[in-house]
Amino acid sequence: MSEIEIRLVRFDAPVAQQLIRDALAELGARYGGTGDDTPVAATEFEPPDGAFLVAYLAGEPVGCGGWRSHGADTAELKRMYTAPAARGRGVARTVLAAVERSAREQGRKRIVLECGDKQPEAIAMYTAAGYERIPNFGFYKDEEGCVSFGRTL
């Protein structure tokens, strides 16, 4: 198995934007529409108030994830994605750990996320990583099928 390399990139970098487009297309196929209409600005992912990470396998970008501030001591996980060809190789778990580490290094004590109930793979990964259900929050908090998770860092 190839080693997964994680790189900090700007949210608006072309490599990040391509992975995000792929993620939104997949969400659109699962849920309809654009996939996710949550307002997101590239500046929200700039250290020390956020970060965006891209995973590479054999030099190819295969996954991403980032965090943005959600209050003084909490980070919100956003735009987690692994390309279908790279799934099952630990990419998502590696990105998640790197995102959590980045948020912790910037003083965040907790991380939260919102997800949809049509993403059982993601829900299983978050649960296995120690995330627990929390009250829904964010753009989709009142939508049917929204599920939110959090954990202490």
Q: What pLDDT, on the 0 to 100 scale, is given for residue 2?
A: 65
Q: Give CA–CA dist 82/128, Å, rounded.
A: 17
**Residue 1 pLDDT greater than 70, yes or no:** no
100/66 Cα distance (integer angstroms): 9
Residue 67 contacts residue 77 (beta carbons within 8 Å): yes
pTM: 0.94
Q: Are 93 and 80 in contact (CB under 8 A)?
A: no
Q: Per-residue pLDDT tens for 92-151?
A: 999 999 999 999 999 999 999 999 999 999 999 999 999 999 999 988 888 888 999 999
Asked whether the CA dihedral 38, 40, 28, 101 is positive or negative, the reply is negative
The residues spanned by each domain of the chain are: 4-109
Amino acid at 62: V
With beta carbons less than 8 A apart as the criterion, state whether 98 and 153 touch: no
Fold assignment, 4-109: Aminopeptidase (3.40.630)
| Residue 95 · residue 108 · CB < 8 Å | no
Per-residue pLDDT, 25: 94
pLDDT at residue 36, as a whole number: 84
Q: pLDDT per residue over 5-46, tens digit each? A: 999 999 999 999 999 999 999 999 999 888 888 889 999 999
Q: 120 is written with which tokens?
A: 């059982």
Confidence check: pLDDT of 54 > 60: yes
* % the chain with pLDDT above 90: 86
